[in-house]
Each structure stands twice: as C-alpha cells, then as structure tokens.
Amino acid sequence: VLWGTHKSCHAFHLAPRTLRFQSVSATGAPRWNDHDRPEKFNFASDVLDYWTQMEKEGKRGPNPALWWVNSQGDEVKWSFRELTDFTCRAANVFTQTCGLQQGDRLALILPRVPEWWLVAMGCIRTGIIFMPGTTQLKAKDILYRLKQSNAQSIVTTDALAPEVDSVASECPALKTKLLVSDHGREGWLDFRSLIQSASPDHTCIKSKTTDPMVIFFTSGTTGFPKMAKHSHGLSLRHSFPSSRKVLQLKTSDVLWCLSDPGWIMATVETMIEPWTAGSTVFIHHLPQFDPKVIVETLFKYPITQCITAPSVFRMILQENFGSLRFPTLEHCAAGGEAVLPEEQEKWRQRTGLLLHQLYGQSETGLTCSTPRGSQVKPGSMGKAIPPFDVQFIDDDEGNILPPNTEGNLGIRIKPTKPIGLFMLYENDQVKTAKVECGDFYNTGDKATIDEEGYIWFLGRDDDIINASGYRIGPAEVESALAKHPAVAESAVVSSPDPIRGQVVKAFIVLTPQFLSHDPDQLAKELQEHVKAVTAPYKYPRKVEFVPELPKTVTGKIKRSELREKEFGQMQRQ
Ligand code: BCO
C-alpha cells in the first residue's frame, strides 16, 4: 500500500512492480476535444496507465486511486501503479487461465468490493465485454442475463454462487465461473489466488473507439431487460472538455458515488469520470443502505464530492441528524430520478451545499447536468452535455419542438451518432429501431427546455416505473407475481411516494381459492414472493386487491388509467 495506513487489507497485497506501458499519452489524459473521433481508444492504456506514469514521474500527489472501506474498519488503498499492476494480472487471468478472448462476454455481479474494479478494468484491457449486474439478482434474473448474452464467464461471490450453479446447466456457453471469496467452491476458480499468481506483464489491446466495451441490462416497458451495448466511446467521452466541466474533478478530489456497481452510474462515476481526472475513487462497502453510515462516512473521510440517488439525500434529510455540515464536502450531485426544488433548498439549508441534478440512462450515460459553478435552476436537470445535441421532439417523426413545449428528450444521431451514446440493443433490431425517431434517439422521457437551455423533467411516456432511481418494467413484476397461486392476473404501475419519488404498486385479481384469505397477510406473502423470485428492489411496496382490471376492448390492460388514479389521489391529498 503506497499511501496512508490501513487496519487490515480486505483483499490482498501485491508488491508493485516496474511495468511496461503500451500507450501512454505524452500530453495527458484530457487530450481530446468534444467532437474528436479518434480511431483507437482504450481507457486502461490511454487513461489509467497515463496516471500510473504520472505517479512514477512524481507528477501526481500521494492520494490513492481507489480507497475502499467497510464498517469493520478494513481499508484498501491502491495507487494507479498498483491498479495497473493488478488489472494487468486480471487481464492475464481472463485470457490465459480462462481462455477468454476479445468480444467474449463476462457477467460481473459483485457487491462494492475492490475486485469489481480489477475485473472491469481487466476486461477493458482485453476487450472482453463486461456486463455489470446488481447483487440483488436472483437465479431467474441471472439465467436470463447469461442466456441472452451467451456469456462465457461470470464473476460473483459466495452469496450468489449457488444461484448461478442452479441455472448453469441451462447456459452451454458458460465456460468459467470465478469466485471472489476467502473460501473455495467446487467448479469455481478462486479469483483472489489467481490474481496473486498471475503475471503483471500484459499488452493492452488496441481497441477501436467503436469496439464494444460493456453491456448494461435496462428494463423496458414490455418484456424483460434489454442489453444496451456501449463501445469504448463511453469512456472516451469523459476525456472531452464538456464532460470534464460537469464535476471539474482534480487529482486532489475524493469522489464518493454510492451507486450499486450494477448500474451505469457506477461504471461512469466510480471509474471512468474520476480516473480520467486522476482523482481518488472512494467506495464504502455498504452491504445495506443506512443513512447513518453515510453521514458518518461524510464526516470521517476527506470526501470532496458525493453522488447518489435523490432518495438517499431525502432519506438523510428525513433523519434527525444534528449537523449536516460536512468538513470537506464541496459538491453534491443527484441522479437516477427527479429532484424537487424544495429538496434542493432543504439540502442547501442543512449542508450549505447546492444539490446538482444529473440525468442519463443506461443507453446514454450522462446526458444533462448543471456544471459545477454554473447557475442551478431549482427543479431543472441542467443543460445538455456535448457532444450530445439534445432537442425536444414530437412522438411521430422526431420534429423539433420550440422551447417551453412538452416533448420527448431526443439525442441527435443523424447524420452522425455521437460518441458516448449506446451502440444498439444487442439481439434486438426491433427495439433498436423503435427508439429511433427521425434524426434522433428518443429517450422516452418527457421534458421541456427553456430559452436558456435548461431542461425540466416531466415524466415517462410509457409504463416504466422509476422507483428511487431504479427503472422497473411492469412486465418483470407481473411475471414474478404470476408465479404465485393466489394471482389470477395483475397490473403493475408506479405510485407516488414522498421518499422514493415513486414506488411499485400492484393491482391484483385473486384466484377464487384465495379470496377469503386475510388481505394484509396475503399482501406481505406476495411481496416476499416477488423478493424471492426476482431482484428484491422490484417488489411492490403497495398492493391492492381488485375484482377486475381495466382493459381495452381488445383485452389490453389499461395501466395508464390505474397510474392516473394513483397520481390523482396524491393531488387530492
Ligand atoms: O425496503 P425493504 O427493506 O422492504 O426491502 C429492500 C431490501 O431490504 C430488500 N433486499 C435487498 N436485498 C435482498 C432483499 N430482500 C431479500 N433478499 C435480498 N438479497 O429489497 C428491497 C430493495 O430495495 P432498495 O434497493 O430500494 O433498498 P433500500 O435499502 O431502501 O435502498 C434505498 C436506495 C435509495 C439506496 C436504493 O433504492 C438505491 O440504491 N437507489 C438508487 C438506484 C440507482 O443507483 N439508480 C441509478 C441507475 S443509473 C442511471 O439512472 C443513469 C444516471 C446517469
């Protein structure tokens, strides 16, 4: 460990060695302009190894590149030199031990443990496409992901290994299972010991900017999650001056983004954006969400910037904490769902800090924000971040609408698709085509823009539920409910919630044999059932039993009618 002290090392120690670099920029990481389209780019060799070189030349301060802590007092601090060393080893484990090649797919389902960053960067070095997933996934979700992607490999922990084993026989493409654990498991390779014995000499691939790098699973309004595939352009974009302006990170900054590693927010804000700037990525293990731990952490560690979901800021404000004047915190940003002006004001009063909004999707990465230092218009999600040309378009042909008119937030893709926008939905030409509207990618998010370019979120134009920053497709929850014998049919919609913004609500028609059951007890049983068969964050926090569901003449459930009833109720309260 090069910097500071640590009580005990959670993961492993390796002596940093002298390294060979394949592609170190002479002029520094941020050498591209907003509209550059370099033919080749690889985040590992062009950015991570650049900072390693800066450290070696004494041109970067002593702060770590990754600083990981947990509530037991364990701590890991890795410099960029160590990260280059360890991620080269990870790359060798994948290619030499596991026989994986550029273009192969690896499911990465780990909690916030330091190995997550080694696996992701090891994949980038080798061109293996990594597919982050939350540890809340259940066997059924994992099976879906492995089969849809034809994944050759998976990296996960003890907690999820049995779930993987229960479905592995249905995944013929799956060649290697890697376990991050202190214990062995039959049929699994031990990632930690393989890293220890692997060579740190590795030649990073010379990836094209347009080569695939990562796939995020994102919920749709119908069916199961889609695979939004991104190229190396996703990481190149954060070297552009417009992206660098958003947080204005410096090498001395310590950025804590609390996102679960399964979401695009974590890939961008706990890896790409801070390391592009040579900043410290701070991670707390946080196996369970607890506002008290978050507040204690912000007091205890020299964190300068914090990014999380608006629900987290709300939950902190709800608790009775004495002081929220954090000694080193300078900048806060919230992303994943909308923030109300009253919440921004309350946060400012309690902390003395402005709460900036970020907006993006798994398909788009960071799309809008109010850059640090520029005027925050309360309730607005800020301005478009170039190279995205954001316009407000109509549903039909993608015609551009004038300011202050409600429209779909569109990102121009013609004549040229901008760097950083997803490539396509893997294996799904129909859905890829469906989100193209004239010259634009249609986000499906309704918003308006004012004359100064500030954007105001209004809502979705479909049935997707945004509950505390999670995008949840109703079909996923309805399909989980359908597996319970009490459910004849169900309709799942969003319902307003003062803390989480929205929550999942299920309207359920019971089968005759359950009609006489105690409704409260049955609601709890169904909630537990959903938590057991699919990722628990999707479970319906509200349940209402109804004799029938509203339907169109063709038998289609009118979710919009139910949703309007929910939001109408809120207005009447
Ligand atoms: O609330 P309950 O206790 O009833 O249930 C919770 C958990 O306790 C439970 N659970 C979790 N793991 C389980 C489990 N139950 C059984 N078995 C397990 N293995 O399930 C429920 C999960 O709900 P949750 O995750 O909302 O829980 P929690 O603890 O209330 O967390 C609150 C938040 C705010 C921390 C959480 O909702 C959150 O992390 N939200 C943010 C999501 C996010 O990062 N979105 C960004 C996506 S990327 C993007 O938008 C692009 C932006 C550029």
**Burial letters for 485-508: b for 16+ Cβ neighbours within 10 Å, e otherwise?**
ebbebbbbbbbbbeebbbbbbbbb
Peptide bond into 162 cis (omega under 30): no
Q: Is 338 in the pocket of ligand 1 (CB under 6 A)?
A: no
Q: Is 291 in the pocket of ligand 1 (CB under 6 A)?
A: no
Mutate to test the pocket of ligand 1, among 135, 136, 157, 538 (most ligand atoms within 8 A of CB): 136
State residue 444's pLDDT score. 93
Query: CA torsion, points 187, 189, 192, 196, in degrees to nearest 10?
Result: 140
Q: How far is the CA of 259 from the centre of ligand 1 (A)?
A: 10
Q: Is 422 in the pocket of ligand 1 (CB under 6 A)?
A: no
Q: Is 263 in the pocket of ligand 1 (CB under 6 A)?
A: yes
Tens digit of pLDDT per residue, the chain (573 long)? 222 334 444 444 443 333 333 333 433 455 799 999 999 999 999 999 999 999 999 999 999 999 999 999 999 999 999 999 999 999 999 999 999 999 999 999 999 999 999 999 999 999 999 999 999 999 999 999 999 999 999 999 999 999 999 999 999 999 999 999 999 999 999 999 999 999 999 999 999 999 999 999 998 777 789 999 999 999 999 999 999 999 999 999 999 999 999 999 999 999 999 999 999 999 999 999 999 999 999 999 999 999 999 999 999 999 999 999 999 999 999 999 989 899 999 999 999 999 999 999 999 999 999 999 999 999 999 999 999 999 999 988 999 999 999 999 999 999 999 999 999 999 999 999 999 999 999 999 999 999 999 999 998 878 899 999 999 999 999 999 999 999 999 999 999 999 999 999 999 999 999 999 999 999 999 999 999 999 999 999 999 999 999 998 888 899 999 999 999 865 544
Cα–chain center distance at 273: 13
Q: How far is the CA of 283 from the centre of ligand 1 (A)?
A: 17
Q: How far is the CA of 561 from the centre of ligand 1 (A)?
A: 27
DSSP state of 466: E
State residue 2's pLDDT score. 27
Q: Is the dihedral of CA 371, 372, 378, 381 positive or negative?
A: positive
Q: Is 270 in the pocket of ligand 1 (CB under 6 A)?
A: no
Residue with tokens 């360890």: 86
3-state helix, strand, coil in the chain (%, to 5): 30, 25, 45
Residue nearest to atom 35 of ligand 1 (CA): 289
∠ CA 10-14-15, rounded to 5°: 140
Mutate to test the pocket of ligand 1, among 260, 468, 524, 543 (most ligand atoms within 8 A of CB): 468
Q: Is 372 in the pocket of ligand 1 (CB under 6 A)?
A: no
Beta bridge partners of 436: 441
Q: Is 366 in the pocket of ligand 1 (CB under 6 A)?
A: yes
State residue 299's pLDDT score. 98
Q: Is 478 in the pocket of ligand 1 (CB under 6 A)?
A: no
Q: Is 336 in the pocket of ligand 1 (CB under 6 A)?
A: yes
Q: How far is the CA of 541 from the centre of ligand 1 (A)?
A: 12
C-alpha distances in angstroms, 440 versus 31, 139, 410, 414? Answer: 28, 37, 5, 7
Cα–chain center distance at 297: 21
- Strand 105-109's sheet: what is its strand order? 189-190, 176-179, 153-156, 105-109, 129-132, 212-218, 226-231, 424-425
Q: Which residue, among 382, 380, 379, 406, has the nearest Cα to 392 in the 3D structure? A: 406
Pull the structure tokens for residue 288: 């369970």
State residue 382's pLDDT score. 97
Mutate to test the pocket of ligand 1, among 337, 445, 537, 542 (most ligand atoms within 8 A of CB): 537
Ligand 1: atom nearest CA of 367 is 53
CB-count exposure of residue 567 (10 Å: 0-12, 13-18, 19+): middle
Please state, in angstroms and rounded to a whole number, the distance separating the CA atoms of residues 128 and 105.
6
State residue 31's pLDDT score. 78
State residue 568's pLDDT score. 87
State residue 18's pLDDT score. 34
Q: Is 136 in the pocket of ligand 1 (CB under 6 A)?
A: yes
Pull the structure tokens for residue 176: 């290697």
State residue 29's pLDDT score. 54
Please state, in angstroms and rounded to a whole number, the distance separating the CA atoms of residues 89 and 94.
9
Q: How far is the CA of 287 from the centre of ligand 1 (A)?
A: 11
State residue 10's pLDDT score. 43
ipTM, 2 decimals? 0.95
Amino acid at 109: I
Q: How far is the CA of 61 from the centre of ligand 1 (A)?
A: 36
Mutate to test the pocket of ligand 1, among 214, 289, 363, 471 (most ligand atoms within 8 A of CB): 289
Amino acid at 70: N
The DSSP annotation for 307-374 comes to EE-HHHHHHHHHS--S----SS--EEEEESS---HHHHHHHHHHHS--EEEEEEETTTEEEEE--TTS
- Other Cβ atoms closer than 10 A to 289: 15
Q: How far is the CA of 315 from the centre of ligand 1 (A)?
A: 13
Please enumerate in sequence order all residues whose Cβ is within 8 A of that of 209, keeping only pairs 6 or more positions apart, or say none. 37, 38, 39, 40, 41, 231, 232, 233, 236, 419
Ligand 1: atom nearest CA of 536 is 20
SS3 500: coil
Residue 493 contacts residue 562 (beta carbons within 8 Å): yes
Q: How far is the CA of 537 from the centre of ligand 1 (A)?
A: 5
CB-count exposure of residue 160 (10 Å: 0-12, 13-18, 19+): buried
